[in-house]
Amino acid sequence: MNFGSYYRDKISIFSDILEVANRDGGGALKTRIMYDANLSHDQLKYYVKILTENNLLYYDLHTQRFKTTEKGLRVIEIYKRIESMVKAPQVLPTPALRQPPVQM
């Protein structure tokens, strides 16, 4: 999860919501998602609507909890891979060493 006082992009927020809803496999209540993803109620409604419309998250009427779909799990996995690539230290190739020309 991403916390602190900085700008979070939509993808990061989507990932946070999907992770909270997937935690323990049993789904999550609205308030749990709000607190753990650090969202206001209005923000939660906005993001949940987008996630459910795209079949990344669904609401289980029986348990009254939000759950992450298989498609949503793939999004989490891909997001984490991309995030780790971006955060990994970049090793730049060293330029070939030039040797002075041999004079005869």
Q: pLDDT tens, 71-96?
A: 999 999 999 999 888 887 766 666 66
Q: pLDDT tens, 4-44?
A: 556 789 999 999 999 999 998 889 999 999 999 999 999 99
CA distance 59 to 68: 9
Domains of the chain: 10-85 (1.10.10.10)
To which residue do tokens 């987008």 refer?
50
The per-residue pLDDT for 4 is: 55
CA distance 83 to 12: 10
DSSP the chain: ---SSS---HHHHHHHHHHHHHGGGS-B-HHHHHHHTT--HHHHHHHHHHHHHTTSEEEETTTTEEEE-HHHHHHHHHHHHHHHHHHSPP-PPPPPPP-PPPP-
The per-residue pLDDT for 85 is: 87
Is residue 102 predicted with pLDDT exceeding 80?
no
Q: How many residues does the chain have?
A: 104
Q: Rounded to two decimals, what is the model's pTM?
A: 0.77
